[in-house]
Amino acid sequence: MASQLDQLKAVTTVVADTGDFKQLAQFAPQDATTNPSLILKAVQKPEYAPLLADTVAAHKGAALEDIVDHTLVKFGQEILKVIPGRVSTEVDARLSFDTAATVARARRIMGLYEAAGTPRERVLIKIASTWEGIQAARVLEQEGIRCNLTLLFAFCQAQACGDARVQLISPFVGRIYDWYKKTAGASWDEAANAGVNDPGVKSVARIHAHYKQHGIATEVMGASFRNVGQILALAGCDLLTISPDLLAQLQASEAPVPRHLVFHGELQAAPAPLSEAAFRYALNEDAMATEKLAEGIRAFAVDAGKLDALIEAQR
């Protein structure tokens, strides 16, 4: 019997969610995703210290943000040596509300990849799913720079990303689950909210169905998983990005993996695009999404600052 990981790969593109590229080969993912927290975690490991030191040394005298981008791209290049597909590299979360700055930073990151011989088809630029971030992605996509819109919690964010024709979105399953569980407190029923009934799973399934129903080409990649059950409940999603720990659990099991996300309906005309006002109001009405988006940006910004400090200490 095939492992759950191999069974999952038959219906969904499996993506590794890590900056630790030395772990990747054993799971043979198609793509890989990184974020500021994952890169920070990796560069603090002894086996990656030389990579950071060499990158800093090679760009002595450069601006801090330049060295940061070179570091992110260096990790991306190493990851691309191990996987056949794409790597996602994230724009500084502190630019999440600045469209022009996000566009400029994304262009620079892509320029570094291309200067190193990496074709842009193998890179996704990760951007937070704020209104400003989505509009930056709209511009970048028109230039042939493919984007991965992250920190996505609300249906309106997915709608706006579809309107902008972004390449891929990363709805966060685990963080949605966290919010509902914390909000429910003692009344939370884990069994009743597991698998396909998990609030994070239901959010991704709704977005996936909407895109397929309306012929929206944007890829849906479930992200931020807390347990294997959430992953298995989304078998059939376009892609799923999974941490090494959970990939190992899937690899160790041979239990059956039924496909849950299958679209059988007829295509319908796409709804009218969301205006900025409609987007902001819908996001405001979703307390979970409003809180988790803000929290996620703050957390990534903190880790970006810590990475800055590590690099500053070596300059």
Per-residue pLDDT tens listing for the chain (315 residues)? 899 999 999 999 999 999 999 989 999 999 999 988 899 999 899 999 899 999 999 998 899 999 999 999 999 999 999 999 999 999 999 999 999 999 999 999 999 999 999 999 999 999 999 999 999 999 999 999 999 999 999 999 999 999 999 999 999 999 999 999 999 999 999 999 999 999 999 999 999 999 999 999 999 999 999 999 999 999 999 999 999 999 999 999 999 999 999 988 889 998 999 999 999 999 999 999 999 999 999 999 999 999 999 999 988
103: which residues sit within 8 A by CB, 6+ positions away? 136, 139, 140
Q: How many residues comprise the chain?
A: 315
Q: Which two tokens stand for residue 305?
A: 């600052």
Q: Cα angle vertex 233, ends 18, 191, to 5°?
A: 110
Largest separation between any pair of C-alpha atoms in the chain: 58
Give pLDDT tens digits for 181-196.
999 999 999 999 999 9
Catalytic residues: 126
One-letter identity of residue 27: F
Are 98 and 134 spatial neighbours (Cβ–Cβ below 8 Å)? no
Residue 200 phi, psi (nearest 5): -70, -40
pLDDT at position 202 is 98
Are 42 and 48 spatial neighbours (Cβ–Cβ below 8 Å)? yes
Q: Cα angle vertex 20, ends 19, 25, to 5°?
A: 115
Are 161 and 129 spatial neighbours (Cβ–Cβ below 8 Å)? yes
pLDDT at position 11 is 98
Give pLDDT tens digits for 263-313.
888 899 989 999 999 999 999 999 999 999 999 999 999 999 999 999 999
Q: Which domains does the chain have, with CATH numbers?
A: 4-314 (3.20.20.70)
Residue 141: C-alpha distances to residues 114, 134, 135, 137, 174 (Å): 16, 10, 10, 6, 28
